[in-house]
A and B are shown apart, each in its own frame.
Chain A
Amino acid sequence: MGSYDKDLNLEATELRLGLPGTDQPEPTTNIIIHSNNKRSIHQTKEEDQEGASKVAASKAQIVGWPPIRSFRKNSVQPKKDRAGTEADVSGIYVKVSMDGAPYLRKIDLNSYKGYDQLLVAIQSMFRITIGRYSEREGYSGSEHAPTYEDKDGDWMLVGDVPWEMFTTTCKRLRIMKGSEARGLGCGV
């Protein structure tokens, strides 16, 4: 397996074209994973391009590995240097609107650990059901679809991108209803 190469540090002696000091993103072992959100995630370590050759760190994110309860995983956050650590501490408050509702609500995205929790909260807040998410069909099985406005001003379907990316790019949420909602996910 690839781990042998890492131990021998073949990378150091490899002849390559390119300026010294630049690191190519390390190829990860492509283990196929499916999460509860029914997405398949292929994560490459683009974040490593700062030149920190963290050999041990280049792992694909395997679902359910290491085998610790999600409660523990979420509680013991490592000393990650995440972009926008300000947000971690103070909360990411975004407005949530629902078509037909008289007023908006506000939620703290940081108080949820993932899409499942977020959707449960939204369904409870507005007393609605949102259907099941699938990459192909979007949200099927109900009249509502959760969408969000991202940094570029585009309206996106909630659930398509990894959670961390979502929390940092989401500007506001909108629960679409009815035919507009059903149009989402088909051939988008």
Chain B
Amino acid sequence: MNYFPDEVIEHVFHFVNSNKDRNSISLVCKLWYRIERFSRSRVLVGNCYAITPERVIARFPCLKSLFLKGKPHFADFNLVPQDWGGYVYPWIKCLEKNRTNLEELRLKRMIVTDDSLELVAKSFSNFKSLVLVSCEGFTTDGLAAIAANCRFLRELDLQENEIEDHRGQWLNCFSESCTSLVALNFACLKGDINLAALERLVARSPNLKSLRLNRSVPVETLHRILVQAPQLVDIGVGSFVCDPESETFLKLTALLQKRHSIRSLSGFFEMTLYCAPAIYPLFSNLISLNLSYAPAFPGKELIKILQLCGKLQKLWVLDCIGDKGLEIVAYSCKELQELRVFPSDPDGDGNATFVTEEGLVAISSGCPKLNSLLYFCAQMTNAALITVARNCPNFIRFRLCILDPTKPDAATLQPLDEGFGAIVQACKGLRRLSISGHLTDQVFQYIGMHAKNLEMLSVAFAGGSDKGMLHVLNGCEKLNKLEIRDCPYGDGALLNNVRKYETMRSLWMSSCNISMGGCRMLAKSMPRLNVEVINENGDLNRDGDDDQLVDKLFVYRTLAGPRTDAPDFVWTL
């Protein structure tokens, strides 16, 4: 390849899009490193504290698209204190200072302020796409700034963020000349929006393919929008509360019978079952269906709908579907690839239906293409998991959460080691695994032995000893993220293979048996890791004894050194 001019090599690289591949390319030789870095336009920084924004921009001066992740995953479940960190402002400031031609910004679990959004809106004239997932710290004022200033905005996608809603007029702020919208998702906003502004915006956006409404948009508006936008492919219907005897209902029913292009549905925040018939015609064309925010759907109605979904590939539901409902899915949805079953009664103090191992077995035998699972269930058995493993060897993501976190095999009362062992043995391509239930060191031995492609492992309330954690650290060659809570692992496990942590993005351990001494030792032996002790309760003494127990520990590799924005209860040792 030495005899090709640089332009040819660059042209070839243009076809390589995956970050992993580009990282590999850049390691081949200096020439390739140089060419690759000037041609990389999409950059993923999986941990915003692993490197400084200055270094990223210096290496990739032509970057147009940046994907940043901030807080550790367990922050989603309130295990990380609110002001731990993950601020995006310094990154945006740096991008602005360097006059980067930023077009796309994607953020996950970061603290985004209105100031940051305003800076984005005013600094990058070609800005096209903003995707915020599980972020917080901003209000609808920030959205207004984006709407008002980004004249070529194509995508505004807000997924499950905590946004302070000032009930303002942010939708009005889209200028009349903004006609480029392709995707707009504000389903997570809690407040009212200006309906007329929304309708006008849709009317002047001929390229709008995806629109997800929040719960404040009434069904009359939805109908008018659907009339205006026959090109819509993905719709979040909002609350979908409708009087089945109203004119709107009749008009909507008639309209939807002709909308064969709709492929994806979500929303239904308060849907009453009487309105379901209006959308029946849509189900046979659907590829993706998200009913996980629709608690009012009774099982019978769900079953009726799911029987129609012959092309469905992605299904998110609540556990009120029950095992019977899952059997229907197994029978009807032969193309299913991704299934998520969420708990409808997370605090467990109601009389909710739930799903068990039976539902999962049914799905596995009916849906051979299944490769991604998130399953919140009341119980599980080894026999079921073994059957699932046999039926579905193609799992890439397998996340099982038993609502009672230390529950053993419901039939034999044994630990669930054998079941999960079967999963990792059969699913050679498994990249992400979450395990729960009564578990011993044995399951980790299986994981270490067989899960050679595993990148992310989540463990909660497992039993056993330090050996368990060591099996994983020593055996899982591609391990990138390990998060552990409420397990009996101590300093022995933490310190046995410290070099491993430099090959990983991060390690989270909370409510385990780690001591200050262990953390200090880790920090001392591995200077290129940030060893963060999170002293949330104020119980720890920074200069105190080695034997103080550390409740929350977050370890990650970094080229940026200890971070300067840590709050006073986070200590980088």
Contacts and interface: CB of A to CB of B under 8 A. Distances in A.
B161 interface: yes
Contact of A63 (B79, B162, B342, B343): B79
B343 A4 contact: no
A67 B295 CA distance: 18
A38 B77 contact: no
A121 B79 CA distance: 22
B295 A77 contact: yes
A99 B347 CA distance: 38
Contacts of B345: 78
A76 B82 CA distance: 22
A78 B134 contact: no
A139 B358 CA distance: 50
A59 interface: yes
Nearest to A135: B537
A45 B485 CA distance: 25
Contacts of A54: 349, 351
B350 interface: yes
B354 to A, nearest CB: 9
A90 B15 CA distance: 57
B77 A65 contact: yes
Contact of A78 (B160, B344, B378, B407): B344
Interface string B41-80: 0000000000000000000000000000000001011110
Interface in B328-385: 342-352, 376, 378
A72 B160 contact: yes
A57 B538 contact: no
A36 B403 CA distance: 22
A80 B403 contact: no
B537 A38 contact: yes
Contacts of B79: 63-64
A63 B349 CA distance: 15
Contacts of A78: 295, 344-347, 350, 352
Main secondary structure of the interface of A (DSSP, over half): loop
Contact of A64 (B74, B160, B161, B536): B74
Contacts of B343: 66, 68
Contact of B536 (A38, A71, A80): A38
A87 interface: no
Nearest to B434: A67
A105 interface: no
B404 interface: yes
B350 A71 contact: no
Interface string B411-438: 0010000000000000000000010001
Given A67-B460, A78-B295, A72 B342 contact: yes
B537 A69 contact: no
A135 to B, nearest CB: 9
B188 interface: yes
B376 A66 contact: yes
Nearest to A136: B538
A65 B269 contact: no
B350 A57 contact: yes
Interface in A17-49: 31, 34-36, 38, 45, 47
B352 A68 contact: no
A37 to B, nearest CB: 10
A159 to B, nearest CB: 14
B314 to A, nearest CB: 17
A69 B76 contact: yes
Contacts, number: 102
Interface string A168-186: 0000000000000000000
Contact of B342 (A4, A35, A68): A68
A89 interface: no
A35 B295 contact: no
A3 interface: yes
A62 interface: yes
A66 B346 contact: yes
A1 B406 contact: yes
Interface size class of B (residues with CB under 8 A): 35 or more
A64 B76 CA distance: 8
Given A61-B347, A78-B344, A71 B378 contact: no
A75 B269 contact: yes
Interface in B21-57: none
Contacts of B188: 71
B143 interface: no
A4 B78 contact: no
A120 interface: yes
A34 B569 CA distance: 15
Nearest to A81: B350
A15 B423 CA distance: 45
A90 B162 CA distance: 22
Interface string B76-116: 11110110000000000000000000000000000000000
B318 interface: yes
Given A3-B404, A69-B134, A64 B350 contact: no
Given A34-B536, A36-B78, A75-B269, A4 B350 contact: no
B405 interface: yes
Interface in B136-160: 160
Interface string A96-127: 00000000000000000000100011000000
Contacts of B352: 78
A41 B566 CA distance: 27
Contacts of B460: 65, 67
B81 A65 contact: no
A79 interface: yes
Interface of B: 74, 76-79, 81-82, 134, 160-162, 164, 188, 269, 292-293, 295, 318, 342-352, 376, 378, 401, 403-407, 413, 434, 438, 458, 460, 485-486, 536-538, 551
Interface of A: 1, 3-4, 31, 34-36, 38, 45, 47, 54, 56-57, 59, 61-73, 75-80, 116, 120-121, 134
25 contacts: A3-B406, A4-B413, A34-B536, A45-B349, A59-B349, A59-B404, A62-B405, A64-B74, A64-B77, A64-B78, A64-B79, A65-B460, A66-B343, A66-B401, A68-B77, A70-B76, A71-B161, A71-B162, A72-B342, A75-B293, A78-B345, A78-B346, A78-B350, A121-B164, A134-B538
The 10 closest A-B pairs by CB, nearest first: A64-B77, A78-B345, A71-B160, A57-B349, A64-B79, A67-B77, A69-B76, A78-B350, A59-B348, A64-B78
Given A67-B74, A72-B293, A78-B347, 14 more contacts: A34-B536, A34-B551, A36-B81, A64-B79, A64-B485, A66-B376, A68-B343, A68-B346, A71-B162, A76-B318, A76-B346, A78-B344, A78-B350, A78-B352
